[in-house]
Amino acid sequence: MKALFDALDRQMREESGMSHEDYIVLTRLYRENDRSMRMSDLAAELSHSPSRLSHTIARLEERGWVERARGTTDRRVVVARLSESGEAKLREASPAHLALVERLVFESLGDQGVAEAADAMDHIRKAAGDSEIT
């Protein structure tokens, strides 16, 4: 898996000037109706420490792709919001990224391999459950 993630990161850096991690954060914010998410929820969903996510968001803020704001109902909450330029950058980067995923994963595995991989991941997810190991 490391080789796959290294290839995805290399392609993102060379063609889009962002890391694969940056792309994942932008994509996750894009999926929200209002293009924003509580920082704590985003960190948990991405399995990032609050510090790691804060550094990533700061980098994305410097580029104008993300904005931070206080929550509207709870001023203690910090929200990350995808900016218009961040959405434009995501749209620009996505076609090449998705083409690489298609080639490296789906074309290399074929229909049978994709089905087997999905089945294996489903078994692992069920065995691990949704709870964290303490």
Q: Cβ atoms within 10 A of the Cβ of 28, count?
A: 16
The answer to the question of residue 86 being in a domain is: yes
Instruction: Give me the CATH number covering residue 73.
Output: 1.10.10.10
Q: Two tokens at 59? A: 């980098």
Domain assignment present for residue 12? The answer is: yes
> Is 100 part of any domain?
no
Task: For 29-84, write each residue's pLDDT tens digit.
Answer: 999 999 999 999 999 999 999 999 999 999 999 999 999 998 777 778 899 999 99
Asked, for residue 120, whether it belongs to a domain, the answer is: no
Asked whether the beta carbons of 67 and 83 are under 8 A apart, the reply is yes
Report pLDDT for 56.
96
How many domains are contained in the chain?
1
Task: Identify the band that residue 128 occupies on the pLDDT scale cut at 50, 70 and 90.
Answer: confident
- How far is 45 from 24, CA to CA, in rounded Å? 11
Give CA–CA dist 124/126, Å, rounded. Answer: 5
Question: With bands split at pLDDT 50, 70 and 90, how would you rate the model's confidence at 134?
Answer: very low
